[in-house]
Amino acid sequence: MVLEFVSRASVVEAGEVGQPLALVLHGGGGPRTVAPLVGHLGKGRRVLASTHPGWEGTALPESLTSVAQLAADYLELLAEEPRDGGVTVVGSSIGGWIALEMAVQAAKDARFERLIGSVIVIDSVGVEVAGEPIADFFSLSPRQLAELAWHDADRGYLDPAGFSVEQRAVLAGNAHAMKAIAGSGMADPTLLGRLSAVSVPTLVVWGASDRVVTPSYGRALATAVPGAEFAEVEQAGHLPHLEQPAATFAVIERFLGATR
């Protein structure tokens, strides 16, 4: 089943029936980069998995120009479905930024305050931290990106020469959508200060080898969220759920067990 709101945000349902446990928000690489998360969380539970507008060949409305707008759309989408309690919003990279923005907006709007039960962000971008710049994603070659984003760069490197015309078009569309929504700097200078409004349990997971956004950046982000837990995954970069899934899922399950 596919749910849509204003032809922007959309999700597909995975796992079991019933009230959803989580909404999983992907990063710049698209839905495939969070497929292991969706698969794990969907074992015996219902999960909603996103495809942001403009990714995977979908339309990018000209009116959608910020993460804040997209976060509001996801909140509106969640509000369409009655539920007994809040869902866990799980976001990787840009998805983490969206998740944090959703939590800030929900804390300040009575319509949404019960929609989110907890937040899990994985190597999120979105904030500005002094002395910890975000890597300039849009200037990097595929090999350079692999060197920064993966503990094992050879595992993460995908040679563009092997891509089909269709795959190249999808990747170009993903990059265009990411720049249009997140901006070239991949951050909102106001977000770090606004994170004090987050009122739900929050887990910040970080790959120890991430050089797109370093663990020090992640700790600063976690410190800005009241009561947030920070967990570092060894021998993993920007996508620890791909490089070290068992360790990443163990951290997530301990958090879920403590908050539900």
Interval 22-75: pLDDT, tens: 999 999 999 999 999 999 999 888 899 999 999 999 999 998 999 999 999 999
The proportion of the chain whose per-residue pLDDT surpasses 70, expressed as a percent, equals 93
Helix (H) or strand (E) holding 106: helix 94-107
Report DSSP state, residue 166: H
Q: Where are the alpha helices (DSSP H) in 150-214?
A: 153-156, 165-182, 191-194
Report DSSP state, residue 32: G
Does pLDDT of 6 surpass 80?
A: no
Indicate the residue type of 91.
Answer: G
Q: Are 212 and 135 in contact (CB under 8 A)?
A: yes
Interval 149-190: pLDDT, tens: 999 999 999 888 888 999 999 999 999 999 999 999 999 999
Domain architecture of the chain: domains with CATH:
2-259 (3.40.50.1820)
